[in-house]
Chains A and B, each alone.
Chain A
Amino acid sequence: MYFELIQGEAETASANGLAPRPAACAGGWQVTAGGPVPGIVLLQRWVRLDDREAAIAAGTHSFCNGRLGRHEVAIYGASPAWKAARQELTLPDRAVYELRIQRVLNGYTAEAARVMGESTLPLLQAMGAQVVGVFDLLLGAHRPRMATFLAWPDFAAQQEAWARLDVEPRFWRRRDEERTRLHRRLFGDEQTLLLAALPGYAPRANFGVGA
């Protein structure tokens, strides 16, 4: 299964004029912080990439609604970190969504997924985050990269959690150990976007993907 992440500028941050949600759309959000605003993020789920081509040809692809300005398209696959950190929960109503895109040291994608799934995500889950999906970049710029979708009950919980993680000794001991061993950082630059689900485009838990 493939996940197509579309991230870009939009004409307006409102939902006015947005086409009905296509079946392949796993979620749609407006950017509230961390990226260009007005901005939009769409996640499409494809069993085959030929299905994506067929949707574009038929005008049923999410970005065929004409609202997107300059944007990025990247094709991701499910990361092993997602399976490791998966929980069967219901997403909170009016959740604050967070999309983190992180560069990973080339050649260490498997280790990065293991660290993310066994260490970082459980710490964040203990602080109130729900993991909606974790992905490894397959097609697109700046490989390797990981993308993580989190859902928070509210903005305060998100801010509190990341402030705590920033000084969490278990988190930093691991980063220090990686840096000593690899002579470089396992996780490189990262981008954090805060998102609000567009009306009718809210994701399902685990993006509706079965365990």
Chain B
Amino acid sequence: MNQQGFWELRLYEMLPRRLPDMHHQFAREVPPLFQRAGIPAPLAFWDCFAGPMTATLVYMLHWASLDERMAAWGRFYADPQWWKQYEDAHGGEQMLERSHVLILRSSPAWQPATSGPPPQAGLHELRMIDLLPQAAGAAHQALARVDLACITAHGAQILGLFDLVAGQQLPRAVAVIAWPDIATRDAAWAAHAADASVQAARANERQAHSAPLIGHADTFLLRPTAYGAPQGPLHPGLPG
């Protein structure tokens, strides 16, 4: 069994003008209802202001088991107080265009750093990275040891590295990366593109697997919210 549990990554595609209302909900109204239902406090909340879909609210939860998760959300949606708040907040109108509820487990290659909180005022990045089918284990290792090691040397802080369990385009890795600013981020990815060790790794992978282990990525630029900035690596077992 999975000893580290699961991470739930929720992406809410908002209808125009409703993102502030949703922030109000999550900052003030929802936390006591989560607590009552047994839903753990989210590890982080973000706004997404560049990515495949905007405007988007993103947040992440950690669960010991998926059955525990299903039971807790069942209690939440059975709570009459939630539906009262829902009616009050929505004013008869929808807030969401659609949502994406993705289930992740820890990447076998993730070694969470235990030093230093992420930059609170900085830029965070969510990358969903295609891995070579039939070689996902090797791809996770290559991603951590080659690609993420490279950008870490250029100023990135890896907040989390995951394997997508339920979602699209599997096998996929999901990385959450903190940057001090956009200039550092752009320079790091430029350095990664030109890095000789990265290029050598891809060439070796082509020889061994007939294709690179690491494929395209969907990239979301995230802004930590005032009420839900991650306090450390996105791992419940580590100090925030």
Contacts and interface: CB of A to CB of B under 8 A. Distances in A.
Nearest to A139: B166
B35 interface: no
A114 interface: no
Contact of A70 (B97, B102, B130): B130
B97 A106 contact: yes
A142 B167 CA distance: 9
A68 B171 CA distance: 10
A70 B98 contact: no
Nearest to B170: A71
Contacts of A54: 1
A200 interface: no
Contacts, number: 76
A72 B167 contact: yes
A66 B134 CA distance: 7
A74 interface: yes
A77 to B, nearest CB: 9
Contacts of B1: 50, 53-54, 57
Contact of B94 (A2, A69, A106, A140): A106
Interface string A110-143: 0000000000000000000000000000111111
Interface residues of A, number: 30
A19 interface: no
A8 interface: yes
A106 B98 contact: yes
A50 B98 contact: no
Contacts of A57: 1-2
Interface of B: 1-2, 65-67, 70, 94, 96-103, 130, 133-134, 165-171
17 contacts: A9-B133, A48-B67, A49-B66, A53-B1, A53-B2, A53-B65, A57-B1, A74-B166, A106-B98, A139-B103, A139-B166, A140-B102, A141-B100, A141-B167, A143-B99, A143-B101, A144-B98
